[in-house]
Chain A
Amino acid sequence: MTALPSWAERPSPAGRTAKGLLLTLIVVSVLFPIYMVVLTSLSPQEAVTKAGGLVTVPDGLSFGAYRELFAGGVATRSVLVSLGVTAVGTTISLTVTVLAAYGLSRPGSVLHRTLLFTVLLTFLFVPGLIPSYLVVSSLGLLDSYWALILPSAVWAFNLVVMRAFFMNIPKEVTDSARIDGASEFRILWRIVLPMSKGVTAVIGLFYAVGYWNAFFNAVLYLNDNAKWPLQLVLRQYVLQGQSLITGQASVSSIPGQALPPSLAIQMSIVVVALVPVLFIYPFVQKHFTKGVIIGAVKG
């Protein structure tokens, strides 16, 4: 009987137990913070004070934090803004990225080297805050929802990943379509995209999560508070009271200053911001590994 190499042997019971314990530990270390966040968001203020921070042992149940969060109408409107920006932004970003990646993946397409080089340059030279602001301002996008979408419509990383994936599609497949008289658009739509569902889903997720989480473009480009997206509105809750430099007119010394929101409200915000991503992720997860890895390693 041929001896198995060591990595192919059935692990010993001790080894299996150790691995099991290790994996359990990793799972717990991931889930426990989420558990604390959710539990704190659902705890009454007394429980939070008693715990002196995040609650780890359930001590009463209260939805007060969520009620307060959505009481003013501001948070509700910002949810709609964020959903709108995420939907429109992801659609535009995905469309532009697919078209650009396909074009750049076809050797011989017009100026494709120059364009690719230009795209890659943005990896090295990230525009600064002021130049970006000046561009957005001169395009007349200040205070418009487009300012949340267009400056970050195409991420060079996503474009490069998708281009690499498209280049990996056998040339024979597209050539046979071309022989049958298919146009480039038809090849892309009927042949390339159906073969690239995985990478498209993953890139779409990247964009969607990016738009959902983004707040800094809104900080810079929006003056009208009615247009603030969810993340910026929520940020105001989370960071309240942490801001002013000690030694200056502290916020708390100002008469009538609202007290900082309780940790429960802050954690309810974290939950609200997390839910959509948690909801989408399982549907895209199956594409995740193959989508990204295939595209990333073949260039």
Chain B
Amino acid sequence: MTYHPEGATASRRGFLGLVGLTAAVAAGGGLLSACSTPTTPRPGSGGATAAAAEKLTSLVPNFTAFSGATPDIPGTVSTLPGVPDYAGGFTKYPANVVTALSTKQGKGGTYKAMTPLWGPLPPPLSDNSFFQDVNAAIGATVEFQIADGNTYVDKVTARLAGGDIPDIMVIPSWEIDKMADFNIAVDKAFEDLTPYLQGDKVTPYTMLAALPTAAWQWSVWNGKLMAVPFPTEPYPYALLYRKDLFDKNGWNANPKNADELYALGKEITDAKAKRWAFGDIHEMVWPIFRIPQEWRYEGGKLTHKYETPEYEAMLEFMRKLFTEKLIHPSVAGSKNAGEKELFASGQLVVYRDGLGGWKDHLYQQRPKNPEFNVGAFPLFAFDGGKPIMYHNNAAGIFTFIKKGLPKEQVEEILGILNYTAAPFGTKEFETYMYGVEGKHFTRDANGAPQKNELGLKENTDTYIFLGGRTLPTDWVAFPDAVKANAAWQNASFQYIEAQPTDGIRIQRPSKLSGLQVPTEDKFTDIMRGRRPVSDVKKIVEEWRRDGGDEARDFYMKVLQDNGRA
């Protein structure tokens, strides 16, 4: 998978990212109509937009902290504009789970909500006691229209085009980036929430008021607050390693520069023993080589990461790892090799993953192998100097409300989203995440809820996608890992590199997004030894010609408009 900075997530599969939209109003009264071609990128700069930071501040709800459960390990409050906070870690389940909301949020209404799902489908509302009980607790009926998360953009695009909008529609930011004219569709399809939430108007919705301001700023389109955000974590990924195997073999889990990383790869890799050092780690090698997350502004010029000498140096380093076979052959041979399985089996011992992968491995492997452990390499730079790290946008998923609903219904839906914004350590969170105690979940020795058989059958991720809440490290079953994870996140925060556009809400030019996969495929050819390194300049020139320069002009204008250039 490819990481796309600036929330500019083109697609995990290139072809999906190339579905186009046009702005023409469809004859059938739809919002968008198009002859969408899944294989041809659309010309034009898409719906690229930018909103000034100051304007964003005046639109968003006033922040009021919620004094719920306090994490055992404090997090880090971000001082960088647009960069999410780290919410801290819980090494034990909160002793007092508080009730966050004193009144029922629903008023008996029934609403259809479209949410993505990357997992097995739960039984429908009529056969699902988890849905029924959570709805009863909320005081309104949410009827989920679950859609396959992998083809979500197609479904969203079609429904927007057909004017077939559910009452509540959840759209991840990486899908929005694929929709060229989303900034037009958003006005036609969804309710402007500014009159309901701006400034002090958010007061009745105490949980929504506790969402980070940076996340709300990311919910602004066309100068209006259009959605309720799901705040993200600060880091896109880390270099995870098999701590148990490193400890056992005495390998260096704290490489200080690129040479030490390479030496570590040579030491670990032993093809005869079916053990390789790395998965495809190149996206973590970007910050190691101090490649900017996307743009570097220097001396009045914007330089894209592909154009930097650091990028070429990174390609040469990765090429060395590939050609010397320090990367697992299945990973080298296939884009979609099962890195997680290979990591779990010990066939590769270092790979790049989101910090959530750490938790997955522990839940899956610890019960079978108590020794199993994961760690993350402390950040370092290729030359042993000060490292840099990338950051996520402040919000990753958005919940929209259908345009034209009566005021009372919009308010009731906001009440529902207020309920599902209750964070970890609240009764409401337990309810919408786990259902009813004794019926859908029991508590483990730590007091943490664990789904029982009915819970596993009926409860998949649904309410979690409605609105959002901050995400602490809450794997209380593994306090040692929580400590290590929280320590890594807190220690790494100082290295997050500010980007020239931080704090400005930018809808990425779709042409730039469309270029990303084909261009990086060419760079992959270089890394894997299928093209010479000398081709870099040619690839960069093609990138500039096909939309890179146009994107540069767009970003330069954004900086100028905001007094940053």
Binding site for B on A (CB under 8 A): 45-46, 48-53, 71-74, 128-131, 133-134, 137-138, 142, 216, 219-220, 223-226, 228, 232-233, 235-237, 239-261, 263
Contact = CB atoms under 8 A, between A and B. Distances in A.
B33 A130 contact: yes
A84 to B, nearest CB: 17
B148 interface: yes
A224 B151 CA distance: 16
Given A248-B396, A254-B461, A219 B151 contact: yes
Interface string B211-249: 000000000000000000011110011000000000000
B1 A220 contact: no
B9 A243 contact: no
**Residue among B155, B230, B356, B433 having the largest count of chain A Cβ atoms under 10 Å:** B356
Contacts of A48: 341
A219 B154 contact: yes
Contact of A53 (B122, B230, B338, B392): B338
Given A137-B28, A253-B233, A248 B36 contact: no
Contacts, number: 230
B434 A256 contact: yes
20 contacts: A49-B365, A52-B346, A72-B458, A129-B36, A130-B26, A130-B34, A130-B158, A216-B154, A223-B112, A225-B145, A241-B118, A247-B354, A249-B232, A253-B355, A254-B464, A255-B433, A256-B449, A258-B119, A260-B340, A260-B360
Given A72-B122, A250-B356, A137 B341 contact: no
Nearest to A219: B151
Interface of B: 1-5, 7, 9, 12, 19, 21, 26, 28, 30, 32-38, 112, 114, 116-124, 126-127, 144-151, 154-155, 157-159, 161-162, 164, 166, 172-174, 230-233, 236-237, 283, 330, 336, 338, 340-342, 344-347, 352-357, 359-360, 363-365, 368, 390, 392, 396-397, 424, 433-434, 449, 451, 456-458, 460-461, 464, 471, 474
Given A45-B368, A73-B127, A130 B363 contact: no
B360 A245 contact: no
A244 B172 CA distance: 9
Given A128-B37, A130-B161, A134-B33, A236 B237 contact: no
B120 to A, nearest CB: 5
Nearest to A257: B461
A216 B359 contact: no
Nearest to B344: A49
A244 B149 contact: yes
Contacts of A260: 119, 340, 360
B242 to A, nearest CB: 13
Contacts of A216: 151, 154
B33 A248 contact: no
The 5 A-B pairs with the shortest beta carbon distances in the complex, nearest first, are: A247-B236, A52-B345, A253-B356, A252-B356, A248-B396
A216 B365 CA distance: 35
A72 B236 contact: no
A239 B38 CA distance: 20
Contacts of A241: 118-119, 360
A56 to B, nearest CB: 13
A228 B151 CA distance: 15
Contacts of A240: 118-120
B232 A129 contact: no
Contacts of A128: 34-37
A217 to B, nearest CB: 11
B359 A129 contact: no
Given A242-B118, A245-B3, A73 B36 contact: no
Nearest to B172: A248
Contacts of B232: 248-249
A50 B346 CA distance: 9
Nearest to A253: B356
Contacts of B342: 52-53
